[in-house]
Structure 1
Amino acid sequence: MMNKGIDREIDWRLRVFESLSYPTIILLPDRTIIAVNGRYLEKMGVEEEEIIGRSCREVNLRNYPEQKFPCAEQGECPLARAVHTRSGQSVLLKYHDVYGGEGWEERVFSPILGADGEVDFIIESIRDVTRVKNLEKMYSGVRELIDQVVQTSVSGIIAADRQGRIILMNRAAEELFGYSGYDIDNVNIEDYYPPGVAREIMRKLRSEEIGEKGKLPITRVTIRRKDGAEVPAEMTAVIIYEDGREAATAGIFNDLRDKLEVERQLKEAHAQLIQSEKLASLGRLAAGVAHEINNPLTGILLYASMMREKLEKDHPLEQNLRYIIEDTQRCQEIVKNLLAYSRQSNPTRQYFQLNEALGESLRLVRDQKLFLHVKVVEDAPAAPVLVNADKNQLCQVVINLIINAVDAMDGNGTLTLRTYEDRPNRKAILEVSDTGGGIPAENMSKIFDPFFSTKEVGKGTGLGLSMAYGIMEENHGRIYVKDTSPEGTTFALELPLVPMSDVILFDSIG
């Protein structure tokens, strides 16, 4: 009865061994093969008698002559390791099939312990993992490609988990935000924006008010760098879901500073072009009107002067003739300004220091009444700031700016006159600053328009700044409002900077 039970148990174990889906052999701790299943014989293409009683090394060298086993390469034998540790071990081996194709198989060694706790047998199973390895290789290649695309992208790319911890940041993002890969463990995604912006972005992502839920279309935002500087940028973002739940967020950022600067320059160039067209057309009209008026004015002044000379000193008409002469001279001055505005005279350029034009202008206009309650601050470098322009025309522009500045302060405030070099851009700058109330936003686009004036009727022709604009262009320079606010306004005159070497060379040639 007992023998039958043992026979049934042996039969059951043999049937389980034969039913294993992987090629399997049973070895003794000394590496002797004592049993093989049908899958193994089928894989090897041999009879059982050719395997039983032989060592695994002998069988492997005969059937896998090109395969590199650890024991043949002076490496550690996984079977010996399984016996020593009494735990399962595995080894991955590469092989070539009959067609020369590359394959991979994993050999798993599982120890069977006896009642004394020692290893009695080792079961070795062979699994072909070629398909898995190929998938891993393909996935690894795709992952490397994606990593390369992300890292070489000119757009900053950042991903964060649900708690806002940074889990990915490419090199462009490091440069844009000022953080390195070593910093990301100590920062949260909210640190990348001004207060409240990150939460607002998440609110938009979770809603459908501006598009598909979980996706944010291109949006203009302000980001915050590590040094605290705020930078304009545009971004798009997505929520990454796993099993319908939020797992992470990812954003793509583009720095807008260069783009906005280009837009500003284009807008400024367009405005200058429109202004130049206005001045050109109006200049032609002014020139024609000035020439037509100048001749009769000369006649009026001539005959009025002759009549006044013939009258006695106390004649009742003498005072009237004096008024006629004064008004005629005033008209001639207006005609002169119109001719200058229309650029009927060519500038006489010369080399001079910008401080000279500033000093001469101040001396010409600085009468006691005008500057009675105005503090004048002159800020000029010790080194000469050289330009090549018409000094008289430049003085005319500076005088106009000084008078406007004093008027803007109602004759009470601080007038600051400053000259300096902008070496990187090879420009010489002269600034006139006041502490008046500033220029209203609605007037900024019109201040250089001809005949535009905010002064009372009779106190200004509105030609001053438009003439200054034309003069600066004629001298290859420009005039612009550098800054304006309720605390004051700064006008800047910009001319090409002349290196001292050029002046020395000119003098030596001359």
Structure 2
Amino acid sequence: MTIHPEEMRWRLRVFDSLSFPTRVLRPDGTIVAVNDVFLQVNRDLAENIVGRTCIEANRRHFPNQTFPCMNNRECPLCRAVDSKAGQSVLLHTVDEHGEERWEDRVFSPILDDDGRVGYVIESIRDVTSVKRLEKLYSDMRELIDKVVQSSVSGIIAANRSGDIILANKAAEELFGYTSDEVGEVSIEDFYPAGVAREIMRKLRDERLGGRGKLPITRVDIVNKAGTRIPVEMTAAIIYENGEEVASAGIFNDLREKLAVERKLQEAQAKIGQTEKMASLGRLAAGVAHEINNPLTSILLYGSMMREKLEKDHPLSQNIDYILEDADRCREIVKNLLAYSRQSSASKEVFAFNSLVTDSLRLIHDQRLFMNVEVVKVLTDDELLVRADKNQICQVVINLIMNAVDAMEEKGVLTLATAKDEGTGTAILTVTDTGGGILQENLSKIFDPFFTTKDLGKGTGLGLSMAYGVMEENQGVIYVKETGLDGTSFALELPYVSVSSNEIYESIG
């Protein structure tokens, strides 16, 4: 086919106007033409290039470049000729300034009238800026991935269908799923029923942190085992072109923080209770001493008057009332003095189980137990404690009497001992089958003078004295559990090792 000269000039103008450096090659690699951009980029003349092979020209123009054909790898020119289809290759090099560069070379075959490859057009495109952006993006993705995976907070992202598309190591540990399992779980499975939808509703509410943002919120999550875990979370909706495509949440486990807060509150309450008891103890001591003297006179002269009156005297019963109330006042004064005691505990080492048998034996009015079944569950461990046994027995007796009163002298009283190796303590629990303690009274039961008994049936000093006694002996007393089925009080004392020589000496 004959090509008109004008058409040839037009084709050459198109060839020279290409924005990428371009060469026309024969199938054997001989260069038959180069465009102006190629000459400008390589600062060379056409007569120095045309007629040479691509290998020779490459050595001249790209001395630092490594080409596939140099390493006996398949040549993209040969592939284009053999396949009669376009081929490409990405080449990497370092220029004379030490800068990395990338070139994308595209080989496009031109077929003749017989369908054979007559020429191949090679376009050379500098993709250094693109590759640098790709590397920057890749490095950024890698950095973000490292930050996400190394975060101590659980991070999860889910698509609009609720499928998990990202979960870091902390999230896997928090929710209890492996990396293989987490992709098969819906985001709704991570919360109690309805909570996930409520969070999304809040995320879309512009009044709560702004559109697509949820401020720090306290919620419960559900792990693989079905356990509810309190967490603090923030969340956000991910948008693309203004449309919701995913959501992400950051979770912080609150269990340890809440446990520390509880211990701090308990410690503060204990300090407050100790300070309150100390000040009330000093007050009680002063009041008791002031009352004791006139009370002694009332009892003395009342008794003398009672002896001089005949039994059928009209004032005899009134004197009995006076003496009865005075005797009750004396008992209150006695308790006040005991409550405000200044003497230190006389400590000895004794068998912990003996507290149960000795305390039951020391209760004089055994008629109280006529309709009460006493159950003793004593540990087989040889538990020894160091404390003032008389004081601790009085605490146990007080708990037993309270338990019998709570059951209205009819029910089951259980006294159990146990060893807790984790805390190094011996534990005695006194459990009744009464009606329990009201929730609003739990924080007040160890307060001095607090009682739920009828007027005249209690001073409200028993449990507060027990609290002070246990504290003085390095122990604790607390309500283990209470409810409509009864109440369980617990006493804890540090146990001592049976191998101590000091112990054997103290117990004979």
Per the normalisation by structure 1, the TM-score is 0.91
2:484 counterpart of 1:455 = no
Counterpart of 1:358 in structure 2: which amino acid? V
Residue matched to 1:60: 58
Residue matched to 1:266: 264
The CA distance in 2 between the partners of 1:33 and 1:228, in whole Å, is 73
SS of the equivalent of 1:370 reads helix
Counterpart of 1:23 in structure 2: which amino acid? P
Deviations 1:306-357 (A, max 9, x none): 999x989999899999988776665544333222211323211111222111
Give the Å deviation of 1:304.
7.7
SS of the equivalent of 1:465 reads helix
Residue matched to 2:360: 362
Counterpart of 1:208 in structure 2: which amino acid? E
The CA distance in 1 between the partners of 2:32 and 2:61, in whole Å, is 18
Counterpart of 1:122 in structure 2: which amino acid? V
C-alpha change, 1:93 and 1:391, in structure 2 (3 Å) is: same
The CA distance in 2 between the partners of 1:473 and 1:324, in whole Å, is 38
The CA distance in 2 between the partners of 1:229 and 1:126, in whole Å, is 62
Residue matched to 2:81: 83
SS of the equivalent of 1:53 reads coil
Deviates more, 1:58-67 or 1:473-482: 58-67
Aligned residues: 506
Q: 1:377 aligns with which of 371, 375, 378?
A: 375
SS of the equivalent of 2:218 reads strand
8 Å CA contact 1:311–1:318 kept in 2: the answer is no
SS of the equivalent of 1:500 reads coil
Q: 2:234 aligns with which of 222, 233, 236?
A: 236
Residue matched to 1:214: 212
Residue matched to 1:473: 471
Counterpart of 1:461 in structure 2: which amino acid? T
Counterpart of 1:378 in structure 2: which amino acid? K
8 Å CA contact 2:238–2:244 kept in 1: the answer is yes
The CA distance in 2 between the partners of 1:312 and 1:366, in whole Å, is 32
Q: 2:276 aligns with which of 274, 278, 293?
A: 278
Q: 2:148 aligns with which of 125, 147, 150?
A: 150
Give the Å deviation of 1:86.
3.2
Give the Å deviation of 1:262.
1.5
Counterpart of 2:349 in structure 1: which amino acid? Y
Residue matched to 2:504: 507
Residue matched to 1:38: 36
The CA distance in 2 between the partners of 1:83 and 1:364, in whole Å, is 111
SS of the equivalent of 2:404 reads helix
* Residue ranges of structure 2 left out of the alignment (5+ in a row): none
C-alpha change, 1:449 and 1:120, in structure 2 (3 Å) is: same
Deviates more, 1:249-258 or 1:262-271: 262-271
The CA distance in 2 between the partners of 1:32 and 1:243, in whole Å, is 50
Coordinate RMSD, CA, aligned: 2.8
C-alpha change, 1:498 and 1:117, in structure 2 (3 Å) is: farther
Give the Å deviation of 1:25.
0.7
Per the normalisation by structure 2, the TM-score is 0.91
C-alpha change, 1:198 and 1:366, in structure 2 (3 Å) is: farther
Give the Å deviation of 1:16.
1.7
8 Å CA contact 1:36–1:48 kept in 2: the answer is yes
The CA distance in 2 between the partners of 1:500 and 1:306, in whole Å, is 57
The CA distance in 1 between the partners of 2:457 and 2:189, in whole Å, is 55
SS of the equivalent of 1:71 reads helix
5 Å matches for 1:86-165?
A: 86-165=84-163
Counterpart of 2:280 in structure 1: which amino acid? L
Deviates more, 1:417-426 or 1:93-102: 93-102
